[in-house]
């Protein structure tokens, strides 16, 4: 099995599917992923679900199991299967205890969450999968450590709440933070003002790299000293997180760098995108807007320079 990128007919919207050994989309997975695309889930979310469900159906195929008749024990076996290295999952090679787990507990929990959503989707369509991965937790018990309250929580809080049956204990990783000296060293390592502007926007505004790559000139408010992140379809497939528009205060130094970039590098380039092609085509051959893959290469190059320095 493999995950395949597809473009929706008519709209050209990006989505993903899972192909079986016969190169035909796996029906139940295709219906679920099509539903996620229809309700405008992020293509990255759909892609992640596709990879998780590919693992599930690969596991079922290896044991000749019907996805509509799996048991709780089969799901537990799937968790153990995920922890094995890929070379030992077919049972033909012995796995030594020192080999360690291939999938982390957090990765397993993510795959189980995708499987839970998949089962709930098909349970609503009459497939007897309801209750396979969720149980109703009695009211009053403490759930996840979060302040989030769903819609109509004041009405439903007294009733039983759904809870996943299987969930591995995973430790939360500590976020890594750059020091001021490290951030300055990254900016100084950039060969072009365009590349320096990309890192400066990430540092100053705290946006994701996809949001920075989708910026247009109209989003750069020099007088207001603000950057606006706007959800829109971009040529480089860059996306705003959760499709939410927001305005972020920016420093005067960032706006001066943007103005310097327009004067010294951007010139007469006919593009609405802020981060566009440099005259020497560095990290941005065609089209004029810098691509996500190219930006990743730039980040890797600068990070490698910093490590070697």
| Averaged pLDDT in 10-residue chunks for the chain of 309 residues | 83 82 91 89 90 93 89 88 78 60 84 89 82 55 47 58 69 82 86 87 89 90 92 78 85 94 82 70 47 62 52
CA distance 248 to 239: 17
Predicted confidence at residue 53, as pLDDT, reads: 94
Which CATH architecture fits 180-308? Orthogonal Bundle (1.10)
pLDDT of residue 151: 57
Q: What's residue 96's pLDDT?
A: 54
How far apart are alpha carbons 231 and 291 in whole angstroms? 17
Which two three-digit tokens encode residue 105? 């507990």
Residue reference for tokens 């995708």? 114
- CB under 8 Å to 281, separation ≥6 — which residues? none
Say what the pLDDT of residue 272 is: 83
Domain 2-139+159-164 belongs in CATH node 1.10.150.130: yes
- The whole-number pLDDT of residue 290 equals 58
Distance, CA of 86 to CA of 64 (rounded, Å): 18
pLDDT confidence of residue 276: 75
Q: Could you identify the residue written with the tokens 């970039």?
A: 261
Structure tokens at 246: 């927001």
pLDDT of residue 24: 92
Domain boundaries, the chain: 2-139+159-164, 180-308
Looking at beta carbons, which pairs linking 271-275 to residues 24 or more positions away fall under 8 Å? Answer: 272/216, 272/217, 272/218, 273/213, 273/214, 273/215, 273/216, 273/217, 273/234, 273/235, 273/236, 274/197, 274/215, 274/216, 274/217, 274/219, 274/220, 275/194, 275/197, 275/198, 275/212, 275/213, 275/215
Token pair in block for residue 78: 């799937």
Predicted pLDDT of residue 149: 54
């Amino acid at each position: 099995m493999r995950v395949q990128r597809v473009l929706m007919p008519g709209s050209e919207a990006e989505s993903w599917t899972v192909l079986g050994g016969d190169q035909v989309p796996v029906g139940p997975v295709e219906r679920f992923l099509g539903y996620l695309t229809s309700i405008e889930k992020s293509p990255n979310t759909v892609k992640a679900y596709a990879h998780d469900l590919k693992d599930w159906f690969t596991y079922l195929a290896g044991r000749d199991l019907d996805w509509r008749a799996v048991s709780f024990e089969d799901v537990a076996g799937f968790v153990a299967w995920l922890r094995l290295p890929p070379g030992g999952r077919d049972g033909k090679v012995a796995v030594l205890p020192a080999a360690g787990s291939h999938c982390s507990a957090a990765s397993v929990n993510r795959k189980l969450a995708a499987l839970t959503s998949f089962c709930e989707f098909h349970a609503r369509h009459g497939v007897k999968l309801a209750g396979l991965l969720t149980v109703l937790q009695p009211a009053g018990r403490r759930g996840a450590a979060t302040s989030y309250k769903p819609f109509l929580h004041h009405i439903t809080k007294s009733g039983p709440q759904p809870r996943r049956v299987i969930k591995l204990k995973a430790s939360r990783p500590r976020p890594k933070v750059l020091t001021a000296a490290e951030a300055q060293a990254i900016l100084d390592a950039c060969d072009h003002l365009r590349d320096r502007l990309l890192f400066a926007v990430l540092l100053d505004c705290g946006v994701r790299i996809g949001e920075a790559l989708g910026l247009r000139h109209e989003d750069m408010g020099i007088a207001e000293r603000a950057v606006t992140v706007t959800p829109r379809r971009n040529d480089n497939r860059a996306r705003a997180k959760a499709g939410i528009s927001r305005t972020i205060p920016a420093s005067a130094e960032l706006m001066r760098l943007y103005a310097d970039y327009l004067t010294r590098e951007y010139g007469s380039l006919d593009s609405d995108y802020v981060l566009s092609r440099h005259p020497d085509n560095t990290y941005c051959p065609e089209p004029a807007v810098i691509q996500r893959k190219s930006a990743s290469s730039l980040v890797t190059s600068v990070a490698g320079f910093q490590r070697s320095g």
